[in-house]
Amino acid sequence: MRSKRQEQLLAILSEKQDWVTGKQLSSLLNVSDRTIRSDVEAINKKAAPPIESNVRLGYRVVGAQCLTTEKQEAVQEQAGASIPQTPGARCIYIIQRLLFETSELNLMELQSQIYISDSSIQNDLKRIRKMIEPYPELKLVRSRECISLQGDEISKRKFYRELLVAEVQENFLNLNRLAHLYKNFDLIEVKDLFTEVLEEYDYSIHEALFPMLIIHAGTSIERMSTYHYIKMDDQRQGLDETIEYQIAKSFFERVSNRLHIKVQDGEIAMFALVIMGRRASNYAGDHIKFQGKWLNTNKLVKGALNRLKEVFGVDFSGDEDLEAGLKMHLYGLVERAKNQVSLEDVFLEEIKQKYPLVFEMGVYIVGYLEEQLGVRVADMESGFIALHLGAASERMNSVRKYRVVMILPHNQSFSAMCKNKILDMFRDRIEIVKTLHYFEEDTVKLLEPDLILTNFQVEHKLEIPTVLISLFVDSETEANILQALNRLDKKRFHLEFTSHIGQLIRKEHFFQNLDLNTPEEIIACLCGSLKGAGIVGENYLNIVLEREKMSPTSFANALAIPHAFQAFATTSTVAVARLKNPVKWGAFEVKLVMLFAINEGDQRMIKIFFDWVSEIIGKPEELARLTSECSYETFIERIMG
């Protein structure tokens, strides 16, 4: 009988579906390389050894490329749910469970569930405490062997929403990242075909909706290539006469010729409705028949979004594009439920691992739909629903402004003048959600403002920044509001940075006391580590060195951050080297090197990382702590501090 650790090792290899080095496995499971070898030998004692090994590449499941979904599920069921594999992912996992699953977690059980040591758990708890520092009403409390997240419900939901902002910020639905998930065709080529058709019809698509359209097209093609089709005989109502139908028809005709697949009319009609977005309700009925009952799709979608608001405190009401997208997805979901077929598991693990908060909302919607339909809904649907929610979150966050409550006197003329002048000054950064004539703590708290502006002194216990203003909005008032907004920006940056950095810096790319003598040797070592893990390509080293020739990337007498912005990584990663001896790097003596490799979909992280660099350089004491000798765990703790 296998041990829990051996089952987890097998689950990791099954999930990766590729080579994983012994060093990486030992890091994930917190054991030595020798223990990994012993576990593999023990697992392989069966007549048909499930794991193959390679001296250079490491380990993988035998026949990994053709392992069936059923076998993957069987292995993962034995080993438990997907295990978070980085400090950042573990923090999100713990927070998520404390927010939505249980009031407290037993630390001993948690160790056995996610296969990490007590010291790693303690480091994760320190990171979580750093993450919730900007929320004074939230406390991570330990009682014997249990932890709980204590605080009022409003603060918990606000914290969750801010985490969601950090998770999807300008980083969702990157086609280049998702294209590799489609095995039978080139998604980028499909995108080019669709773009050609749009140009011929002189038809424009909103930029925020374009990736979702391409993913929908890719999923339709994937299904049609295996002879699974959607029928829409009952929901047409003049759709054939629309320009969107003609675009969809022309597009799928080209796809059919290029990929040699048969396209049916229902697929064309469905894609036409997806192109229409919010206008689709004019051509698709609001009802769909399932198991002898007529279901109101509008009611189902609004009910699902209300469920999200109740559970997560995230309000998507008013996003007509999201409602239309979910409505169209419902048609396909019901059709699949009728015919007892399921979507291919294209996105499920990708979304679950990289966007766990968005994925969790998709799971809740699937649960709601199961209640309403009275049937089991396939797990794969949650991944596709999460795509719609992630895109909506990004749209919502791209125009997100700070919520302001103003406390002003009854004098309407002076109050209106003050409000309008402040809006003119800070229109791109704030929205005034309410103007009150007096302060009442419970009323203000329910409005969940980020900032209170008042023209008279207010004493309260709320942890909300409060700025005293003049009704005439003088220069002092303008300066005080600006400073308050900048402090809010810093708070938001802190959460974004702390929620990402633990996932960017991995233990297998962290080098302590690296004994090399030149920048070129150090860069070659770090690039080699990333290349060996398949994160960067062959030419990455040369591109980084060429960038270094233009201008050394050293800052102060401590830090260098070599990088290559014109080349992208498969996974955003920061490789770190703490040097045994300082190395001359441009004009400075460098002790710490952080090589930044960025995925094309994570370009916002460039700004977050360099904002952190500019901040840390101005704090010599913190920089000294960061460059001093320490373990990987301590380094992550310091960098998040």
pLDDT tens digits for range 414-443: 888 899 999 989 988 899 999 998 898 889
Across the range 537-559, mean pLDDT stands at 88
pLDDT tens digits for range 279-302: 776 666 678 888 888 889 889 999
| Closest C-alpha among 469, 453, 450 to residue 401 | 450
CA distance 500 to 473: 39
Q: Residue 375 carries which DSSP code? A: S
- The neighbouring-strand residues paired with 403 are 431
**What Å distances lie between residue 257 and 83, 193, 565, CA to CA?**
43, 11, 38
Across the range 374-400, mean pLDDT stands at 79
Check: CB of residue 598 under 8 Å from CB of residue 606: yes
Q: Which parts of 444-522 are beta strand (E)? A: 451-454, 466-468, 510-514
Across the range 383-388, mean pLDDT stands at 85
pLDDT tens digits for range 554-583: 887 789 999 887 778 888 899 999 999 999
Residue 490 confidence (pLDDT)? 78
- If you count DSSP H runs as helices and E runs as strands, how many of each does the chain have, helices first? 26, 16
Joined tokens for residue 192: 């080019």
Question: Which 3 state secondary structure label does DSSP give 296?
Answer: strand
Across the range 509-531, mean pLDDT stands at 94
| Closest C-alpha among 510, 546, 547, 530 to residue 599 | 530
Residue 110 phi/psi, 5° resolution? -60, -40
pLDDT band per the 50, 70, 90 thresholds, residue 47: low
Residue 80 confidence (pLDDT)? 38
> Which residue intervals of 180-292 are DSSP H helices?
187-200, 210-224, 243-259, 265-276
Burial 161-175 (b: 16+ CB within 10 A, else e): bbbbbbbbbebbbeb
| Closest C-alpha among 443, 480, 446 to residue 465 | 480
Which tops the pLDDT comparison, 399 or 400? 400
pLDDT band per the 50, 70, 90 thresholds, residue 453: very high
Q: Flag whether pLDDT at 531 surpasses 80.
A: yes
Other Cβ atoms closer than 10 A to 103: 9
Which tops the pLDDT comparison, 80 or 132? 132
Across the range 370-381, mean pLDDT stands at 84
Q: Flag whether pLDDT at 523 surpasses 80.
A: yes
Q: What residues contact residue 635 under an 8 Å CB cut-off, 6+ apart? A: 505, 510, 576, 578, 626
CA distance 17 to 66: 9
Q: Residue 563 carries which DSSP code? A: B
Check: CB of residue 597 under 8 Å from CB of residue 535: yes
Check: CB of residue 142 under 8 Å from CB of residue 129: no
Joined tokens for residue 43: 């697992």
Joined tokens for residue 316: 């998507």
- The neighbouring-strand residues paired with 435 are 406
Across the range 368-382, mean pLDDT stands at 85
**What Å distances lie between residue 129 and 123, 147, 167, 608, 640, CA to CA?**
10, 12, 18, 20, 10
Check: CB of residue 607 under 8 Å from CB of residue 572: no
- Dihedral angle sign, alpha carbons of residues 407, 413, 419, 422: negative
Check: CB of residue 639 under 8 Å from CB of residue 609: no
Burial 557-570 (b: 16+ CB within 10 A, else e): ebbbbbbbeebbbb
Residue 75 confidence (pLDDT)? 37
- Dihedral angle sign, alpha carbons of residues 638, 566, 572, 130: positive
Average pLDDT, whole number, for the chain? 82
Residue 70 confidence (pLDDT)? 39
CA distance 293 to 243: 33
> What predicted TM-score, i.e. pTM, was given to this entire model?
0.55
Residue entry with tokens 């969809």: 248
Burial 446-473 (b: 16+ CB within 10 A, else e): eebbbbbbbbeeeeeebebbbbebebeb
- Mean pLDDT is lowest, of 142-156, 181-195, 485-499, 570-584, for 485-499
Other Cβ atoms closer than 10 A to 279: 14
CA distance 138 to 322: 32
CA distance 340 to 336: 6
Residue 390 confidence (pLDDT)? 84
Q: What residues contact residue 257 under an 8 Å CB cut-off, 6+ apart? A: none
Q: Flag whether pLDDT at 143 surpasses 70.
A: yes
- Mean pLDDT is lowest, of 270-279, 336-345, 382-391, 625-634, for 336-345
Integer-rounded Cα Rg, in Å, for the chain is 27
Question: Which 3 state secondary structure label does DSSP give 138?
Answer: coil
Residue entry with tokens 């609001």: 286
> Which residue intervals of 242-379 are DSSP H helices?
243-259, 265-276, 297-312, 320-339, 348-354, 356-373
Check: CB of residue 58 under 8 Å from CB of residue 24: yes
Residue 511 confidence (pLDDT)? 94
Residue 173 confidence (pLDDT)? 63
- Mean pLDDT is lowest, of 63-72, 91-100, 290-299, 486-495, for 63-72
Residue 509 confidence (pLDDT)? 93
CA distance 638 to 641: 5
Residue 174 confidence (pLDDT)? 67
Question: Which 3 state secondary structure label does DSSP give 226?
Answer: coil
Residue 63 confidence (pLDDT)? 61
Residue 624 confidence (pLDDT)? 86
Secondary structure (DSSP) of 338-373: HHT----SSSHHHHHHH-HHHHHHHHHHHHHHHHHH
Residue 360 confidence (pLDDT)? 82
Residue percentage of the chain with pLDDT more than 90: 22
Check: CB of residue 381 under 8 Å from CB of residue 344: no
pLDDT tens digits for range 330-349: 877 887 777 776 666 666 76
Residue percentage of the chain with pLDDT more than 70: 87
pLDDT tens digits for range 573-631: 999 999 999 999 988 899 999 998 988 767 667 777 877 887 788 788 888 888 888 88
Fill in the amino acid letter for 336.
R
- Dihedral angle sign, alpha carbons of residues 89, 92, 94, 97: negative
Which of 166-175, 187-196, 399-408 is modeled with the greatest confidence? 187-196
Q: What residues contact residue 606 under an 8 Å CB cut-off, 6+ apart? A: 565, 596, 598
Q: Flag whether pLDDT at 155 surpasses 70.
A: yes
